[in-house]
């Protein structure tokens, strides 16, 4: 292993809140990149020295999700990537884009693919549509970069003037600083001619009702995160009477990861890494994630 990246899910696992199927002892983290040290005699498509990432779902090659989807997750219930060496079946690996650093490539299997699936999975967005992105974590910023490359207009909410400036520098069409704009849903709706086409909903319970208000008639809310809580109270007529779609995205398949990697290579997109720590300092990476003080992805450098 060369590098690993943290996601909010890793905190949930660490706290023992991911259900009875995810129990210690467990190697944590699901986002990572490594270099092939050895291959089995029957392996084709990979060679010693190749730089690869393991797919988040080791049992989801492509198409619709399998019925046993939950048992194939890296970082719980399967051992994850925060280790110096790991063994994987060749069917669970993909090559990573050559223009990326180890830390950048380490963000792709979970965070990167989640953003890709939300924008270009079962219901791909189109040129000229408007996407509302909540926050400035790894999924959010990857979605911003992918949307820009695809000609999609972007509105991003964030929590401070400093983060707002950094998001603007990444090319967001509009940034709403929640510390200065209390009703961010109203602001997003006003800036998008009656509501946005799609919301990348990363907050959860506290933000979902506002995301509904920001969405146009016939729009979509892609539910990805639950940072602010697991139980939301919704005003159902706001969804039922406006032909809105509320659907969830849980990372994606190996086929989707390969498609993401091709898009990143074609557009020379680099995931944003906000902080990197040494392998021996991995607990500090978890503390930084918990404090929500870091802009973009937090990574652990493992190998040279």
Domain 122-248 has CATH 3.40.50.720: yes
Q: What is the pLDDT of residue 228?
A: 74
Report DSSP letters for the chain, one per residue. Answer: --EEE--HHHHHHHTT-S-TTS-SS----SEEEEE-----TT--S--TT-EEEE-SBTT--SSSPPTTGGGGBBTTTB--S-SS-----GGGEEE--TTS-HHHHTTIIIIIHHHHHHHHSSS---TT-EEEEESSSHHHHHHHHHHHHTT-EEEEEESSHHHHHHHHHTT-SEEEETTT-S-HHHHHHHTTTSSEEEEEE-S-TTTHHHHHHHEEEEEEEEE---TT-S-----THHHHTTT-EEEE-----HHHHHHHHHHHHHHT----EEEEEEGGGHHHHHHHHHHT-SSSEEEEE---
**Tell me: the pLDDT tens digits for 106-149?**
999 999 999 999 999 988 999 999 999 999 999 999 999 999 99
Nearest to 152 by CA among 128, 172, 171, 134: 128
Q: How confident is the model at residue 229 (pLDDT cuts 50, 70, 90)?
A: confident
Predicted local distance difference test score (pLDDT) of residue 173: 97
Cα four-point dihedral sign 227, 229, 230, 235 = negative
Average pLDDT over residues 267-271: 97
Assigned fold of 3-110+253-268: Quinone Oxidoreductase; Chain A, domain 1 (3.90.180)
Q: Would you say residue 36 has pLDDT above 90?
A: yes
Query: Whole-model pTM?
Result: 0.94
Non-local CB neighbours of 87 within 8 Å, separated by 6+ positions: none
Contact between residue 224 and residue 202 where contact means Cβ atoms under 8 Å apart? yes
- Angle at CA of residue 265, ends 259 and 269, nearest 5°: 105
CB 197 within 8 A of CB 130: yes
Query: Which tens digit of pLDDT belongs to each residue from 238-252?
Result: 888 999 999 999 999
- pLDDT value for 76: 92
State the Cα–Cα distance between residues 37 and 51, nearest whole angstrom.
10
Could you tell me where in the chain the CATH 3.40.50.720 domains are found? 122-248
Ranges of CATH 3.90.180.10 domains, the chain: 3-110+253-268
The string of DSSP codes covering 65-98 is: PPTTGGGGBBTTTB--S-SS-----GGGEEE--T
Cα separation, 121 vs 217, whole angstroms: 21
């Amino acid at each position: 292993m060369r590098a690993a990246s943290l996601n909010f899910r890793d905190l949930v696992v660490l706290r023992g809140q991911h259900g009875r199927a995810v129990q210690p002892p467990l190697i944590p983290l699901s986002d990572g990149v490594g270099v092939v040290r050895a291959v089995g005699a029957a392996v084709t498509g990979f060679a010693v020295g190749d730089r690869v990432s393991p797919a988040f779902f080791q049992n989801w090659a492509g198409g619709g999700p399998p019925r046993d989807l939950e048992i194939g997750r890296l970082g719980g219930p399967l051992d994850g990537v925060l280790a110096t060496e790991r063994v994987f079946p060749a069917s669970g690996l993909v090559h990573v884009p050559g223009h990326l650093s180890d830390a950048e490539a380490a963000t792709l299997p979970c965070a990167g693919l989640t953003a890709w699936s939300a924008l270009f999975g079962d219901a791909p967005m189109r040129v000229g549509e408007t996407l509302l992105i909540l926050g400035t974590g790894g999924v959010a910023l990857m979605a911003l970069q992918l949307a820009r490359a695809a000609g999609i207009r972007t509105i991003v909410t964030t929590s401070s003037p400093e983060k707002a400036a950094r998001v603007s520098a990444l090319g967001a069409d509009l940034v709403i600083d929640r510390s200065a704009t209390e009703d961010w849903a109203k602001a997003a709706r006003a800036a998008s001619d009656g509501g946005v086409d799609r919301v990348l909903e990363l907050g959860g319970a506290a933000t979902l009702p506002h995301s509904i208000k920001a969405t146009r008639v016939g729009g979509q809310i892609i539910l990805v995160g639950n940072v602010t809580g697991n139980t939301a109270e919704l005003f159902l007529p706001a969804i039922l009477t406006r032909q809105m779609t509320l659907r969830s995205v849980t990372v994606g398949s190996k086929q989707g990861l390969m498609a993401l990697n091709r898009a990143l290579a074609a557009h020379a997109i680099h995931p944003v890494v906000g902080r990197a720590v040494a392998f021996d300092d991995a607990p500090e990476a978890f503390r930084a994630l918990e404090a929500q003080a870091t802009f973009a992805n937090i990574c652990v450098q493992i190998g040279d």
